[in-house]
Amino acid sequence: MNSLIEITFTINGEKMVRKVKPSLLLINLIRDELKLKGTKPGCLEGECGACTVLVDGIAINSCMYLAVNVEGKSITTIEGLGTLEKPLNKVQEKMLEHGAVQCGFCTSGIVLSIKSFSDKCKAQGKVPTRNEVKKSLEGHLCRCTGYVKIINAAEAVYK
Amino acid sequence: MAKELSIISKSTQKFDGKERVTGKAIYGHDIELPNMLHGMILRTKYPCANIISIDTSAAKALEGVACVITADDADVNMIGYKRDHPILKSKTVNCIRDEIAAVAATTKDIARKALSLIKVEYDVKKGIFNPFDALKENAPKINLAGKGLEQFANKNIAESFHYEHGELDVQKAKSKVIISKRYTLPRVAHSCLGTSNITADYSKLNGCLTLWASTQVPFLYQRDIAHALKMEPSKIRIIQPTIGGAFGSKLDMLPFEPICALLSIKTGKPVQILYNREEEFIASPTRQTMVIDLTTGADETSRFTFREVKITMDNGAYTSWGATTPFVMMQTFSSLYQVPACSFQADAVYTNNPFAGSFRGYGNPQATFSVERNINLMAKELGIGNDEIRLLNANYKGEITGQRLHYKTCGAKPALEKVIKESHYKVKEKKKNQGRYKTGIGLASMLHVGGGAKIYRSDGCGTRLKLDHYGYLTIFTGSSEIGQGSETILAMIAAEELGIPFEKIKVINTDTDVKPWDVGVHASRTSFVSGNSLLGAIKLIKEKLNKQVSKLLCVEAGDFSYKNGLIITGDKEIKIDKIVRDMHFGLPNELCVAEYFYEPPSDFQDKQFRGNVSGNYAFASQAIEVEVDTYTGNVKVLDVYVSQDVGRVLNPLGLQGQIEGGVVMGIGYALTEEMIFENGNLINPSFHGYKLLTSTDIPNIHFYPIETFDEAGPYGSKGVGEAPLIPTAPAIANAVANAIGVEFCSLPLTPEKVLKAIKEKTII
């Protein structure tokens, strides 16, 4: 199998070297090879956002991203947000407080998107408007909540 | 009115939320068992054809393929509500979903490759994709197992319902206004974010089959799987992993489920089938598309006189629970508002389209759309306000309807009054607007069962309680959590009644080998039945605890209070865990357990479909304000005012989530969602082509619960889950009519459709 390509990357703070097929999607590296099942397969066509992870802090659809492209980069999945001391980060706490979780299948991706947008806003020293918050969540489909509580949770994170 | 409560009616975070928000919850997609094979299904290329031959030899020869099955390899029974559905098709295919063969292989890639190696020769036939064509004399019989001629008027009728009350002719003669309209409702998809999935593990050692299945009705499902596979139900264990959305889609057992079990039985290994999104669109249930011919009347005082309705449902090629949605629809036609006479006929007609299933609302969004549109049309003719005609005819407390539904409590009028007031309906309705953007406001109401629906032999739910030596309570409930928040409600009830903190409560609800019987999640019944069942079990366990306390503390058994893990009587208190230890290790040497089965006090309906079928009834109204862009035809929903008779609010946070989720699903039904079929083929099987709303489409949703404290429900509550989406689409269509003067009789109101209507009206 000389067609495998060696990649070096960091995932949830842990450095890794893997040999992967050039066609391997990042979602499959994460779920099938690394067994991090919190990243969810919703559509595998870049429409629903359930498989969102952070690559160097930017939220991307892992179903539309080749695994070989994480070479030298840092990935954060939902499993990488909490710590032993603090198992829930602020985004997760706000999602629960605001009732933004029902079936939960879209939740991992949404949490990571909010985290990414919140970090970006913090770096720029700005508090986004409600419309900007809505816009930041546009790439996620949720069939249970009607989005209102997710938008509320996200707003609470930025405050 | 009710006793002081400390937990019930207070916003409570989702009991099982932490697992879901951290990615730790295990959905069916996440299950991996040792030696597990991957199953895939070969579906037909054509919606209507004879199968000449199936050649699986090349697929079988492929390295890594463990098993290939076709109908010839399967000794199985037909499935579905009418048992008219073979799980693998051998001679004919009848819709684009049809399963011809299945493979199990060591990897997904090999399974996919194996499917491509199966050769099927077809003799393609012209299909029938319209129920009215299927009803024609010269139409061929579509489903050969159908019993249309034996049971009904036509060979292609799969199921038929007739209901009537009152004197139709007398009421017609009394009518000053009579409106007849044909309404056409689209086929829409549940679009659960988690696609359909199953993992099957058959043990040749004991003949037991374990299924990790995301069903919402585990005990009916166990029975259905057993029937399909000719097995004993109790040899089948259903484990429900975390479910990624259901909304009714997981009420029917579908062919892929027994097929996966068969693959495991044939290979002796665990097998998993996961749908991809395209397969989910093509091969999972939908809401019924139907044509509703509705005639309604009102007299000179604007009182409703009669409703006469004929519904033609596109049943698709096979019959699912979806064919029984007329049970619910007839309630709306007979009993939403006061209706002196009603005649209802609904036929589910076989076609070569995919079959629909059950979907949140169960026919009621379609029925309510037609009723509420016709009310506006009658009001216009009568020269009465859309609000006034509804208030005048609203249901009332104590009413026993023509269908014998008994409204012991009824928030219909208060809900209407609330949304009329809060939305400033009267002012906004009269607002004239010029220019490109025109705003409008619309009203609609709904009626739905709120205390289960007695359509099976039992509408009950069992609960077992185990209080351990350390003061931890385990609730074994028959009910299922599908994201709607039922675990949270149960934990709240237990914490309220037994004074046990949340962190010491566990809910076990996913395993048919362990949990007691329940019909399943449907009819907005879960909090109602499982809550009442839990309250029954708590009463029994309290009797045991109280007896032990009175013995230990030498006090009269009486009304002890339970707080913070303590049982308190007068100035004495004792830890609940100490009582359990005393009961177990001392006399009477008993475990601290209790079990209770709750059966709602509802009635079976008679052969004429009359009877008080639910423990109570939910009522709701919505007033919705829209803005129509007359240049593009785009309809934007601005504000939604929702008022719903929920009996009593149990968990405000969870309730609001149900309301908002339902309303947004209803807006999608009204404006954007439609599965588009061409000659039986779905042409938009993806989220690119099937438009769900996103966060930027969301209006302001204002919610006003009405509390009527119905004695049948736990703490006076009623079911809430389905109601919020039911009146949304008609309220939007009424609002669009108010904005631009066009009366729509079909959904969705896409920009193309709205623009065309505006132009044609201008021309006329």
Between the two ends of chain B, the Cα-to-Cα distance in Å is: 59
B417 lies in the same domain as B535? no
* Helix (H/G/I), strand (E/B), else coil: A11: strand
Buried b (16+ CB within 10 A) or exposed e, A70-101: beebbbbbbbbbbeeeeebbebbbbbbbbbbb
Q: Of the candidates B257, B298, B402, B419, which has an alpha carbon nearest to the alpha carbon of residue B344?
A: B402
Share of chain B above pLDDT 70, in %: 99
As a whole number of angstroms, the distance between CA B241 and CA B216 comes to 11
Is 60 exceeded by the pLDDT of residue B1? Answer: no
Q: Of the candidates B419, B416, B412, B425, which has an alpha carbon nearest to the alpha carbon of residue B338?
A: B412
Cβ-contact B66, B105 below 8 angstroms: yes
B551 lies in the same domain as B436? no
Query: Is residue B430 in some structural domain?
Result: yes
> CB distance from A127 to chain B under 8 Å?
no
Contacts of A48 in chain B (CB under 8 A): 193, 277, 687
As a whole number of angstroms, the distance between CA B734 and CA B743 comes to 8
Q: Of the candidates B653, B207, B734, B59, which has an alpha carbon nearest to the alpha carbon of residue B423?
A: B734
Query: Is residue B478 in some structural domain?
Result: yes
As a whole number of angstroms, the distance between CA B402 and CA B334 comes to 7
Q: Of the candidates B398, B426, B418, which has an alpha carbon nearest to the alpha carbon of residue B338?
A: B398
Is 70 exceeded by the pLDDT of residue A2? Answer: no
B217 lies in the same domain as B94? yes
Cβ-contact A99, B653 below 8 angstroms: yes
Instruction: Give the one of A82, A134, A141 whose C-beta lies nearest to B692's C-beta.
Output: A141
Mean pLDDT over B303-320 rounds to 98
Q: Of the candidates B273, B278, B269, B263, which has an alpha carbon nearest to the alpha carbon of residue B198?
A: B273
Cβ-contact A149, B657 below 8 angstroms: yes
Contacts of B654 in chain A (CB under 8 A): 99
As a whole number of angstroms, the distance between CA B751 and CA B755 comes to 6
B119 lies in the same domain as B259? yes
Amino acid at B689: G
Residue B2: its pLDDT value, please? Answer: 47
Amino acid at A132: E
B77 lies in the same domain as B95? yes
User: Smallest CA–CA separation between B29 and chain A, in Å?
Assistant: 8
Q: How far is CA B149 from CA B43, B139, B445, in A?
A: 29, 13, 38
pLDDT band at B655 (very low <50, low <70, confident <90, very high): very high
Cβ-contact B326, B334 below 8 angstroms: no
Cβ-contact B117, B41 below 8 angstroms: no
Cβ-contact B368, B332 below 8 angstroms: yes
pLDDT band at B556 (very low <50, low <70, confident <90, very high): confident
**pLDDT digit string, tens, across residues A123-145:** 999 999 999 999 999 999 999 99
- The secondary element (H helix, E strand) that includes residue A92 is helix A90-97
Which of B566, B598, B630 is a domain's end point? B598
Best residue in B12, B14, B20, B247 to probe A by mutation, most A CBs within 10 Å? B20
Best residue in A30, A110, A148 to probe B by mutation, most B CBs within 10 Å? A148
Question: CATH number for the domain including B385?
Answer: 3.30.365.10
Mean pLDDT over B602-627 rounds to 97
Parallel, antiparallel, or unpaired for β B92-93 and B49-55?
Answer: antiparallel
Contacts of A129 in chain B (CB under 8 A): none
All domains in chain A, ordered by first residue: 5-80 (3.10.20.30), 90-158 (1.10.150.120)
Cβ-contact B673, B692 below 8 angstroms: yes
User: Smallest CA–CA separation between A142 and chain B, in Å?
Assistant: 7
Best residue in A77, A102, A130 to probe B by mutation, most B CBs within 10 Å? A102
* Helix (H/G/I), strand (E/B), else coil: B549: helix
Which of B580, B598, B616 is a domain's end point? B598
B317 lies in the same domain as B439? yes
Query: Is residue B611 in some structural domain?
Result: yes
Interface of A with B in 15-44 (CB under 8 A): 35-44
And the tokens for B240?
């429900």
The number of angstroms, rounded, from the C-alpha of B142 to the middle of its chain's C-alpha atoms is 28
And the tokens for B717?
């509550």
Contacts of B276 in chain A (CB under 8 A): 44
* Helix (H/G/I), strand (E/B), else coil: B123: strand
Which of B237, B264, B283 is a domain's end point? B283
Mean pLDDT of chain B: 96
Phi and psi of B675, rounded to 5°?
A: -85, 120
Query: Is residue B137 in some structural domain?
Result: no
**pLDDT digit string, tens, across residues B63-113:** 999 999 999 999 999 999 999 999 999 999 999 999 999 999 999 999 999
**pLDDT digit string, tens, across residues A41-98:** 999 999 999 999 999 999 999 999 999 999 999 999 999 999 899 999 999 999 999 9
B574 lies in the same domain as B686? no
CA atoms B749, B753, B755, B761: torsion sign: negative
Instruction: Give the one of A78, A97, A103 whose C-beta lies nearest to B13's C-beta.
Output: A97
Cα–Cα–Cα angle for B181, B182, B187, nearest 5°? 145
As a whole number of angstroms, the distance between CA A139 and CA B531 comes to 37
Residue B763: its pLDDT value, please? Answer: 44
Parallel, antiparallel, or unpaired for β B236-239 and B271-274?
Answer: unpaired
Amino acid at A2: N
B568 lies in the same domain as B643? no
**pLDDT digit string, tens, across residues B497-555:** 999 999 999 999 999 999 999 999 999 999 999 999 999 999 999 999 999 999 999 99
Instruction: Give the one of B27, B32, B660 whose C-beta lies nearest to A105's C-beta.
Output: B27
Q: Of the candidates A36, A39, A61, which has an alpha carbon nearest to the alpha carbon of residue A48?
A: A61
Q: How far is CA B591 from CA B27, B562, B577, B692, B695, in A?
A: 34, 19, 12, 51, 51
Contacts of B699 in chain A (CB under 8 A): none
Mean pLDDT over A92-110 rounds to 98
**pLDDT digit string, tens, across residues B219-277:** 999 999 999 999 999 999 999 999 999 999 999 999 999 999 999 999 999 999 999 99
Strand order in the sheet with A74-76: A14-20, A5-11, A74-76, A52-55, A58-61
Residue B139 DSSP symbol: P
B589 lies in the same domain as B644? no
Global ipTM? 0.97
HEC secondary structure over B345-380: EEEEEECCCCCCCCCCCCCHHHHHHHHHHHHHHHHH
Strand order in the sheet with B505-508: B505-508, B473-477, B461-467, B593-598
State the burial class of residue B211 (Cβ atoms within 10 Å of its Cβ: 0-12, 13-18, 19+). buried
Interface A-B: count of C-beta contacts within 8 A: 171
Query: Is residue B172 in some structural domain?
Result: no
Query: Is residue B164 in some structural domain?
Result: no
Q: Which domain holds residue B436?
A: 290-453+606-763
B465 lies in the same domain as B408? no
B583 lies in the same domain as B706? no
Query: Is residue B707 in some structural domain?
Result: yes
User: Smallest CA–CA separation between B484 and chain A, in Å?
Assistant: 6
pLDDT band at B764 (very low <50, low <70, confident <90, very high): very low
The number of angstroms, rounded, from the C-alpha of A125 to the middle of its chain's C-alpha atoms is 22
In total, how many domains does chain B have? 3
B347, β-bridge pairs:
B160, B312
Cβ distance of B698 and A147 shorter than 8 Å: yes
Residue B432: its pLDDT value, please? Answer: 83
As a whole number of angstroms, the distance between CA B699 and CA B619 comes to 22
pLDDT band at B429 (very low <50, low <70, confident <90, very high): very high
Q: How far is CA B9 from CA B5, B492, B499, B505, B563, in A?
A: 8, 9, 16, 19, 17
As a whole number of angstroms, the distance between CA A113 and CA A132 comes to 13
Query: Is residue B155 in some structural domain?
Result: no
Cβ-contact B147, B86 below 8 angstroms: no
Residue B3: its pLDDT value, please? Answer: 65
* Helix (H/G/I), strand (E/B), else coil: B690: coil
Best residue in B18, B22, B488, B722 to probe A by mutation, most A CBs within 10 Å? B22
B273 lies in the same domain as B297? no
User: Smallest CA–CA separation between A123 and chain B, in Å?
Assistant: 24
Torsion of CA B242, B248, B253, B259, to 10 degrees: -60
Parallel, antiparallel, or unpaired for β B290-298 and B177-185?
Answer: antiparallel
Provide the strand spans (E) within B380-504. Answer: 437-449, 461-467, 473-477
As a whole number of angstroms, the distance between CA B664 and CA A151 comes to 14
Q: Say what the pTM is.
A: 0.97
Tokens 């000794």 locate to B75
Q: Pick the residue from chain A with its C-alpha nearest to B280.
A: A43
Cα–Cα–Cα angle for B327, B332, B338, nearest 5°? 135
Question: CATH number for the domain including B114?
Answer: 3.90.1170.50
